[in-house]
Amino acid sequence: MTKQAHARKKHIPMRSCIACRKSFPKRELLRLVYTPHGVQIDPSGKAAGRGAYICNQPECRRRTLNAKVLSDALRVPLSTEQFAALMQQLQQATDS
């Protein structure tokens, strides 16, 4: 191994939370993705589609319960049904 490769820090991808706008390492955030089937939680972080990230703070999770925050972040209009379905997923993810 070369000296240079050794000294280099591993790159950690950062993403910002849609509620508090702070940057966090990507893997610490919950990813939501907009798919043709609606907005879904993306545990793998790899699903195709427009994504939005939320950090672990209860305040941010709570703010995401506002449909406007989400539709602004994803830049798509969310129907009440889509939003309700997502909230159910989000609640389950947060409870466990």
Give the binding site for Zn ion (CB under 5 A).
Answer: 17, 19-20, 55, 60
Cα 73 to Cα 50: distance, rounded to the nearest angstrom: 9
Handedness of CA 63, 69, 74, 80 (dihedral sign): positive
Choice between 21 and 37, CB closer to Zn ion: 21
From the CB of residue 5, how many other CB atoms can be counted at a distance below 10 Å? 7
CB of 2 to Zn ion, least distance (A): 39
Nearest partner of 75 among 13, 26, 18, judged by Cα: 18
CB of 12 to Zn ion, least distance (A): 17
Choice between 40 and 57, CB closer to Zn ion: 57
CB of 58 to Zn ion, least distance (A): 10
